[in-house]
Structure 1
Amino acid sequence: MGATLRALRALVLLSGFYLVSLVLLAALAGADIALFHWGLHGFAAIKITIVTVLLAVPVVRGMFMLRVPPADDPAAVEVGEADEPRLWALVREVADASGGHAPARILLTPEVNASVREDARLLGLRPGPHTLTLGVPLLTGLSEAQLRAVLGHEYGHFTAGDTRLSAIVVRGRAQISRVVEQFHATADGKVADERERQERTAAKRIAKGKKAREVDTRHTGALYRGMARLYTWYAGLCLRASLSTARGQEFAADLAAVRIAGRDVTASALREIPVLVAAHGFYLETYATLGLPARTLPPRGQFFGGFREFLAARSAGLEKLRAGLPEEPESRYDSHPPMAERVRRIETLPADGRRSEGDGPALALLTDPEHALTALEEAALTVEALGFRRTADWPELLNVAMAEGITTAQTPLHRALTAYIGRPTTLADLLDAIDEGRLWRVAERLPLSKEASAAKGRAFRQFVRPALGDSLRTMVLAEFSARSLLSWEFSWSRPATVRLPGTTDGAGASPEDAMEAALDAALADVPDTAPLRALLPPTVVQPV
């Protein structure tokens, strides 16, 4: 389907929104006319008329939302050609090869994504300037050749006219969304009012010594939600109607990338993207945001910059992901075909003999990557986060974050012991409870499964021992951390490892091994806390 036919279909679908709205308005007006025609008067007629008018208001508002919402820039750093000449040169090269024009702007974003947006005029009938957004994680994880393939894909959309129709699509979605949101907001308001009314009535009945009725708002606002469902149904119809074309556009853009960068490079770039998406999500959750609870950030420029070290350290594990392809379930509303299908189509094309043109990292295209990464932090992080403390390096960040997490942790065992004794407790209290044979009675106050609750004796101890071990380990580490006797070994390739004071003994047992053995002894069927007390700081060695 050509751009002209796609534009015609987009206009038809947008017109359908107005048709649905006019039919609804006609139905509401017809209901009012019928009331007067049948001679229905009084309070009931007035109430029905008010309801029809209230239902018509969001419909009319949506129809007359003539202005297309402006496209907002994401959190990003805009780079000019004077700032990044090598990056702009590559973009211009790809634009020329695709038969398009260079973008008016290039934005660097923190997302694992790339896109081209055209600010077309007259609902896409006239072309306009376009903006290229490039995710810095893509530049970090892709080679220059792979980036060329990604740019070729995006410019494949642009030269096919796909981006120009976005104005019509945006307007249709915005109008439908606005109507649906207004109906839901009205329904929610009515539910809140009805709940408040019923709660007041219930309070009065209770004050008179009567039994209050259960608050029930299940049917409140049902008419408004029904109207919202009608528009939601039409929105789904529009999406399904354009789905096959949208997916065809993705395949066509992939072919454009193959023409520009070559079959093998394009396939490798598509294989790499889901790997980078998964790796970047894990990196942000496990490393970059590690210190947020302690209001601490990595060294300046490393919030996004540490992703390079993470990828390098985990290259062997990520290679396994590259070898496979994610077989994600296909959504009926997803405009993108599954990545596995896209890669298979490319790899079945005839070999073109094209070699990688630029095997170096795409991030090296930037004149000063460190400056760009620092600027991206300033643009993407909140004002509050930018005011957090900065550590000198990643190991310091790990120690600060772990100290905060451990010293403030309230384990299930901690809470169970407090409930059992009836006052705030310490690790010394727990060791005393173990020595006095009360541990398993405390364990009965832990959150337990049905099987554990029903178990008795040795079976019960087997059920709860893992949870007890985790909580006791945390409480012991908290004692070391509170006295600055605990450190953590930072690693990009594996989970952090705790380091206790002391050295490996003559038998080859490290302080960490000794602690694990002491924990096992304290939680044995016949407990012994002496090994654990011997390891702890002096303030918790002696029973209280």
Structure 2
Amino acid sequence: MGASPRALRALVLLAGFYLLAFIVVGLFVTVDVVAWTRAPGLAAVKVTVFSALLGFPVLRGVFAFGRTDGDEKAGSPVTEAEQPELWRTVRSLAERSGTRPPDEILLTGDVNAAVSEDARLLGLLPGRRRLHIGMPLLIGLTEQQLRSVIAHELAHYGNADTRLAGITLRGRDSVLRTVAAFQEQEQKRIGKERSKQQRAADKAVRKGKKAKEINTRGAGISYRMMAKPFQAYARCYLRATQSVGRQQELAADRVAARVAGRDATASALREIAVLDAAHDHYMDRYATSGVQAGLLPPRGEVCGGLRHLLADPHRRTALAELRGELPSAEVSPYDSHPPVAERVRMIEALPDDAAATDPARPALTLLRDVERVLVELEGAVLTPEALALERVDWPELTHRAMYALTEEAAEPLRTALAEAGVATGSAAGDLSALLDAADAERLWLIAGHLPKSPEAARATGRAAREFLRPALAAGVTRLTELALVEKGGAYWELSWSATSRLRLPGASAPDPEDIAEAVTVAVRAAVADVPDTAPLRTLATH
């Protein structure tokens, strides 16, 4: 579908939303006029107020058209003077793609690349263009793979996709904003009704009466019913516009394959799917692992530390296995992109372009002064609160972050010890006091102070013990780890290939896996029905 038919289609869809909105508002006005001419004054006022409340979400969606919510992704701009090779590559790809190059390039922290354009007159006139390139792509792709990604994005310029987004996206936002406004009002009504019924129930209980069950099924029904036609139109709008979006993606893939090579384009799609999973794991388990303890890795490493994960031999082996397994996502009419597997199959079915196979240079070589760029990127994408956190090197971050998590996990047991009157204040002392209590057959009295589910609270005898045993064992394990750190100088060791493990100091210290197994066995013996505390006491003396 060419640019003109797509523009007409977007305009028709947008006009349909306005037509629906004006019909609804017109009905409200008609009802108000009839009420003021035929009903008593008080009834007319009530009808007018009611119609105004229902009509507000519609008007909100209509007059919000054209507004932006500032959802442009944060990024660090790079000038041509700073990064000439990257700009030279982008300009060359734009020329080969038959389109005007971007006016600005921004690096972002996402595993993604995107283009945007500040088009005017709903996309009829071109505007300032921006190309967004995710730093993880520069870190994880080869230069040729990155060229195919950029060529794909530039193809959206050539197809006028970015300019038509001025109509399509803003129209979609108006429809969805209207639906969201109705839902917001509905939730407010439900909340008020719930509070009202809760107050009545509390009052009944105070009087010794049985409280009625809270039921809010009828609350907000007017807003719920009013939202239905707009929800139906939103589904129609999304199905129509997203289907065009999927066609645009396939067209851009073909341009990328022509400009950067078939094999590079197919392999880039495979690699991005793997890179996305690796980046999520890195951000969750490494980059942000110390936030709870007020820590971040060294400057530039929040975005740049992904390099360590991708370079680890064990991780490389695991990621290589993922490359052969394309994501098998379910196809939905509301998806803006075709499934990756479908895109790869389409590209690999293209004729062999016999593209030159240059040495696979890392895409990161396109940047000068990479460390400075990584630091500047963090300044652009991290919040002021995150930027203010303490920076420490990776080994210290790993240990302090794991220590904070272990302290938090051990807190319920240490609170139970305090409530039982046997806490000492130190982890080693608390562990010793717990083991003494176990030898004195008081372990389950202490365990009784642990947090319980309603079902566990009702249980008695052996059943109560079985409910409490997992939480008790987990707490003792964490307390043992803290004691080993406090008394034995143990520390959590950084590993890019596996989860952090507790290690004892010294060249002859046991392997971390052996320590973990020994702790598990000793804790299991200590919390048995007939506790044996000797293994745990021996372990705690290291």
**Structures share fold, TM-score greater than 0.5:** yes
5 Å-filtered alignment, 1:456-467, equals: none
Distance 1:295 1:35 in 2: 62
- 1:144·1:358 contact (CA, 8 Å) conserved in 2? no
Distance 1:481 1:320 in 2: 37
* Alpha-carbon displacement from aligned partner over 1:466-514 (angstroms, at most 9, x marks no partner): 65443322111112223471212211112212112567599xx976665
Q: 1:56 matched to which residue of 2?
A: 55
1:52/1:513 CA distance change after superposition, 3 Å: closer
1:428/1:269 CA distance change after superposition, 3 Å: same
Distance 1:484 1:42 in 2: 84
Q: Residue type of the partner of 1:404?
A: A
Q: 1:289 matched to which residue of 2?
A: 288
5 Å-filtered alignment, 1:216-365, equals: 216-313=215-312, 314-357=315-358, 359-365=360-366
Distance 2:106 2:412 in 1: 47
The answer as to 2:412 corresponding to 1:408 is: no
Q: 1:19 matched to which residue of 2?
A: 19
After TM superposition, give the deviation of residue 185 of structure 1 in Å: 3.4
Distance 1:265 1:88 in 2: 20
Distance 2:509 2:68 in 1: 69
5+ residue gaps, structure 1, are 539-544
* Alpha-carbon displacement from aligned partner over 1:222-281 (angstroms, at most 9, x marks no partner): 212322332222111111123332211111111001101111111100001111111000
Distance 2:107 2:215 in 1: 51
Q: 1:137 matched to which residue of 2?
A: 136
Q: 2:490 matched to which residue of 1?
A: 486
Distance 1:260 1:91 in 2: 12
Relative to the length of structure 2, the TM-score reads 0.89
Q: 2:398 matched to which residue of 1?
A: 398
Q: 2:427 matched to which residue of 1?
A: none
- 1:144·1:357 contact (CA, 8 Å) conserved in 2? no
Q: 1:542 matched to which residue of 2?
A: none
Distance 2:97 2:39 in 1: 68
Q: 2:375 matched to which residue of 1?
A: 374
Give the length in aligned residue pairs: 533
Q: 2:477 matched to which residue of 1?
A: 473
Distance 2:445 2:251 in 1: 68
1:333/1:86 CA distance change after superposition, 3 Å: same
* Alpha-carbon displacement from aligned partner over 1:165-207 (angstroms, at most 9, x marks no partner): 0111132123223333333333344344444555555566666
5+ residue gaps, structure 2, are 425-429
Between 1:210-219 and 1:48-57, the stretch displaced more is 210-219
Q: Residue type of the partner of 1:90?
A: T
1:409/1:125 CA distance change after superposition, 3 Å: same
Relative to the length of structure 1, the TM-score reads 0.88
The answer as to 2:168 corresponding to 1:169 is: yes
Distance 2:404 2:208 in 1: 51
- 1:14·1:172 contact (CA, 8 Å) conserved in 2? yes
* Alpha-carbon displacement from aligned partner over 1:91-117 (angstroms, at most 9, x marks no partner): 011100000111100000000000111
Distance 1:467 1:479 in 2: 18
* RMSD (CA atoms): 3.2
Q: Residue type of the partner of 1:4?
A: S
Distance 2:337 2:110 in 1: 18
- 1:499·1:512 contact (CA, 8 Å) conserved in 2? no
5 Å-filtered alignment, 1:187-202, equals: 187-198=186-197
Q: Residue type of the partner of 2:2?
A: G
